[in-house]
A and B are shown apart, each in its own frame.
Chain A
Amino acid sequence: MKNRLFFLLIVTYMLFLTGCWDVVELEDRAFVLGIALDKAEKEEDIVVTYQIALPSQMFGENPGGGEKVKNISTVAPNIIRANRQILTRIDKVLNIEHLQVILIGEELARDGFYKHIDLFFRDINVRRKTNVLITEGKAADYFEITPLTALSASQYISDIMRLNESRVHQVSSAVDILKLAISIREGRDYFITKVSKAEKDVVVSGAAVFKSNKMIGWLDADEAGKAKWMINDLTAATIILQDVNGIQGQVVFEVQNSRTRIKPVVRGEQVEFDVNIRTEGIVVERENVNFNVSEKADFIHELEESIEAKIRRDCMEIFEAAQKKYETDFLNLGHLVQLYNVRWWEKNEKQWERIFKDAKLNLNVDAYIRGVGLTE
């Protein structure tokens, strides 16, 4: 009797050990690698394209044959509706935990995409470090690319951002969901990395400028690089100078270490930004190799001065572009003013657009050349 009772108890306990209540088996999940958003014909709709990984093709017995990803599109007013529509066409459960990249088409960006992407900010399963990029042309087209060095276009673009954003001056700093959410919720202006199509692959460089959550124009690769000086996000840059100190030919300077400090100074309704840039680096290339640096003592010094002048010019140009060409504070200098002087900001927040147009920039650049590589 006692044994039987014990047995019954064990069986009852086992009922509770069956595992997760709402488990979905791994093979029943469709892992979404990328989501592309495009403009649809109807005003309130968007075209949502999912790039779904096919693990059996990626890592199966004989990989290489056949498609590694499946792209699937649908038209819906928002993303959750698109998700549901996809579920009627696919035999798996969508899983966006491993989302690598969100691409947004240029046309949709110009109309304003912020209304459609609240799910990414609100949903618990989306990682906040997922990159957002604006594509030249239709976003869905980028998923058609089959890169040779990655398993999918989404991973390819995501890896370019992860690995090379900090190595290339012209790739504007990564905008992830976290940053985008803050900018949209706080009503700031911003710029997002641009990706454009090459013949067989993609080019990530430049940026799209947003004013009031609508895209108003592109920054080209050089301008994106200039903007990087102003937001203290610069980790690498190459500066090319012509004919320094009477030496013919180009000299290429590579930044290794750089720091930008911007301090807003408020006088009444006039705002000035004191920009201090301190940059260190080495000479990496020189067209004219037939002379010895140690023989010309002031070469280094003059090179430093030319670099400083070049950086000053770059900063001035991007600042004036923001003021005059785009008429928007996409460098987010207004937030700096807010941080330094909350009272003033609360009083003048409404007129910031006007005040920003008359703002001044005081530049103080220090460049140091620490080395010349292995040849003198």
Chain B
Amino acid sequence: MDRQRDMDRISGVQVTALVSSAVIGVGIMSLPNRIADQVKTGATVIAIVSAVMVLIATYIVAFLSRRFPYRTVFDYGPTIVGRILGKLITGVLLFDFILVSSIVVRMFAYVIKLFLLEQTPIEVIIISILMVSAYLVQNGINPIARICELFFPITIIALSLLLILSLQNFDFKELYSSWQIGAMDLLKGIPSTMLAYLGFEVLLIVPAFMIEPKGVIKYGITGVGAAVVLYIVTVVMCIGVFSGDDLRYLLYPTLELAKTISFPGAFAERFDIFFAVFWVLAVFTTIAIYHYLSAFSMTRFFGLKNYRPFCYFLLPVIYFLSLSPQNIYQTRLAAALVSYVGGLVSFVLPVVLLVTALLRKKGVSYREK
């Protein structure tokens, strides 16, 4: 066990890339629409306030992880709340990771089918991405982290390019109404927006592989921070281009944003295809991370050591789960339900664990040293 761990270590920067890649995924395509579904105006405020709350939640998760260096939540969960509840936590996490993998794969396949591979059956798209993911995942966290490290800057650059080029259609006036928001609207919009930022729950497990676990808060916050900043700017750009009202009609506002861009001189008339290529990289990292976490937590759930076979055992499970929604509305409903489980895991669970740990004085406290 220890020997395998020693080989499979990741650095702080890799944690940043990993967390960021976990957050940036399919959500970036539909986030502005999700906010606009909830409230008529004030999407910008909601995006910013939710981002701050997500950063606070990230801090809590990272703080919890730092108390238990070199240990995952599956190890310290039982120490804090006892064996049976610890097993339950593992089960809930496993359930969440599998569901997230399935839904991300499905939404990814849907978008790819929509505008890249129109005639290709969705099953083929799903199987292909899962096979590639399994190939990456079977070698442990380090290759995943390195892939994230490689793709993360590319994703950021492609997204930034999209956002900068969107300025040609941007109307600053559309943002005026963004600040006029009532308290009720704010309360209504924030929960669902916070769920759109999910992904930082990987910090419950990933820091255990860090070479230097002390820096987890710094690197974790940086990763999530980069992701939420991109999300906020995306929301702002979408409002400026489409106006806040119209966003509720657009299924994939970010894709639509890419479609509105025209390069001068008719060079590369379709920017959306170019953008899609890099978006595939971002989604692939998300899928790989959740696939790995599913396999890893399943191993722990059954008390086994080698997670490798589970990457392949999980493939049919994820495949069938991802195909169970019958249409786009069922998929979106399923995504909403999954995000509630995710909310439970990433917002409620860490707080409960941390409070219990503090009360029962478990783990390492850095201040006491």
Contact = CB atoms under 8 A, between A and B. Distances in A.
B114 A124 contact: yes
Contact of B260 (A178, A185, A336): A178
B177 A338 contact: yes
A343 B180 contact: yes
B164 interface: no
Contacts of B176: 339-340
A336 B177 CA distance: 9
B305 interface: no
B41 A342 contact: yes
Interface in B88-147: 114-115, 117-120, 124
Contacts of A185: 246, 249
Interface string A179-196: 001100110000000000
Nearest to A97: B270
Nearest to A338: B177
Given A339-B173, A339-B174, A21 B119 contact: yes
A127 B262 contact: yes
Q: Is the interface of B mostly helix, strand, loop or mixed?
A: helix
A185 B248 CA distance: 10
A21 B120 contact: yes
Interface string A103-131: 00000000000000000000011011100
A336 B115 contact: no
B256 interface: yes
Contact of B262 (A20, A129, A181, A342): A129
Interface residues of A, number: 24
B177 A22 contact: no
Contact of B269 (A98, A178, A342): A98
B98 to A, nearest CB: 28
Contacts of A129: 260, 262
Interface residues of B, number: 27
B177 A339 contact: yes
B245 interface: yes
Contact of A186 (B173, B180, B241, B243): B243
Interface of B: 40-41, 114-115, 117-120, 124, 169, 173-174, 176-177, 180, 241-243, 245-246, 249, 256, 259-260, 262, 269-270
- In the complex, the 6 A-B pairs of residues with the closest C-beta atoms, listed nearest first: A22-B119, A124-B115, A339-B176, A129-B262, A128-B260, A342-B180
Given A22-B120, A185-B246, A186-B246, 13 more contacts: A20-B117, A21-B124, A22-B119, A124-B114, A125-B115, A127-B259, A127-B270, A178-B241, A182-B243, A186-B243, A335-B243, A339-B177, A340-B177
18 contacts: A20-B117, A21-B119, A21-B120, A22-B117, A22-B120, A97-B270, A127-B270, A129-B260, A178-B260, A182-B242, A182-B243, A185-B246, A186-B243, A335-B243, A339-B176, A339-B177, A341-B180, A342-B180
